[in-house]
Amino acid sequence: MVKRAPVTLADVARRAEVSLATASRVINGSDRQVTPELEQRVITAAADLGYTPNAHAQALARSASNVVGLVIHDITDPYFSSIANGVIRVADRHGLIVMLGTTFRDPRKEIEYASMLRAQRVRALIFVGTRPSSRAMTSRLATELESFVAAGGRAACVSQARLPIDTVVPENRAGARKLARELVALGHKRFAALTAPRSLLTAQERLAGFRDGLAEAHIDLPDEAVTSGPLTRDGGYAAAHELIDRQTGATCVFAVTDVMAVGAMAALRERGISVPGDLSIAGFDDIDTLKDLTPALTTVRLPLQEMGVRAAELVLDGGRPTPRVIRVPGDVVLRESTRDLRSRG
């Protein structure tokens, strides 16, 4: 295996005995026409040499790359991988390739990636995941994005509409409110909740919405009945243990994400508390991978992959300049994890 010098278009042109321009025209699908004869010669030469165009040179020359940047918090979290899958699908359909950034839930990394991806001159930039409540972080990201957009880039995000770009907004608050109502309708009167740190808007919204729903039935969700932890399975697990220790007397627990709910269920199982026998539990998101959990989890369904698709289309299909907002409603799905208290008095 010889370490031959990288072959360039010039090499191909030389071997095919045509000009650089002609070679370029047949290699990249230019609209200009070329004689079948020459075209064949170029194609053959390219194949013989194992030529591959240099995307950097192409991007530089026509000042437009064919990559889109995607920034998510955690690729192992099904919430993000589902949305990412949607984004990838449409990028793919457009012949674009995706550069993926993972923040590991650190807001600073989000900004760092925005900047790296901007340097890569990506065609579009998509951010997925809760916005931090930090005003400083948000405005720094916004500044970065403004430069990006000003330079001709397109950007969108899936979360709260806090950035000056197109946004796909899951209706967290309304969804949680509906969930609370249905749970109340099931006969529950005392609730508890598992949430994430206040710094995460998504958790805040869902908890607020849940409270709204309870309030309609004049039910209060006391602060002592709310514990919090990281937005992960283990976070839910720990928060649930803490909640159990507090003995709130609740008959139903709301976890702000399905992933946390799963951790909570594990904690309850460990403590010998049966679900939904002793305690009901509900989540939010309707993660597909979790559909085989027993008991099946009551939750608020969000069309995750579809949200990714929408976000991608927003920035890839032409598009107006004004930051647009697409609201995505969540549907309550009642399953086995929440007990119907009415049928037993």
Partner DNA sequence: CTGTTAGCGCCTTCAG
Partner DNA sequence: CTGAAGGCGCTAACAG
Taking the CA atoms of 15, 20, 26 and 32 in sequence, report the sign of the dihedral they define.
negative
**Contact 111/119 with Cβ under 8 angstroms?**
no
Handedness of CA 200, 205, 208, 209 (dihedral sign): negative
CB-nearer residue toward DNA: 61 or 325 = 61
Task: Find the radius of gyration of the CA atoms of the chain.
Answer: 26
CB of 7 to DNA, least distance (A): 8
Q: Which residue has the tokens 């040179």?
A: 57
Rounded CA-CA distance 67/40 in Å is 29
Tell me how far apart the alpha carbons of residues 339 and 328 are, in angstroms, rounded to a whole number.
28
Give the pair of three-digit tokens for residue 129: 């995941």
Q: Which of residues 37-66 bind DNA (CB under 7 A)?
A: 37-38, 51, 53-54, 57-58, 60-63
Sign of CA dihedral 263, 267, 272, 274: negative
Question: What gap in Å lies between CA 291 and CA 76, rounded to an integer?
Answer: 17
Residue 38 touches a second copy, criterion: CB under 8 A? no
Given DNA, a second copy, none, residue 108, with its beta carbon under 5 to 8 Å by kind, binds none
8 binds a second copy (CB under 8 A): no
We find the least distance from the C-beta atom of residue 65 to DNA, in angstroms, to be 11
Pick the binder of DNA from 15, 34, 45, 338 (CB under 7 A): 34
Q: Which residues does residue 301 pair with via DSSP β-bridges, in sequence order?
A: 285, 331
Q: How far is the CB of 63 from DNA (least distance, A)?
A: 6
Instruction: Decide: 34 and 41 in contact? Cβ < 8 Å.
Output: no
Q: Which does 102 bind (CB under 5 to 8 A by kind): DNA, a second copy, none?
A: a second copy
Q: Residue 10 interacts with DNA (CB under 7 A)? A: yes
Tell whether residue 10 is a contact of a second copy (CB under 8 A): no
The contact set with a second copy (CB under 8 A) reads 1-4, 6-7, 50, 52-57, 59-60, 63, 65, 67, 74-76, 78, 81-82, 84-85, 88, 92, 97-102, 113, 115-121, 143, 146-147, 149-152, 233, 262-263, 265-266, 269, 288-294
The contact set with DNA (CB under 7 A) reads 6, 8-10, 18-22, 24-25, 27-28, 30, 32-35, 37-38, 51, 53-54, 57-58, 60-63
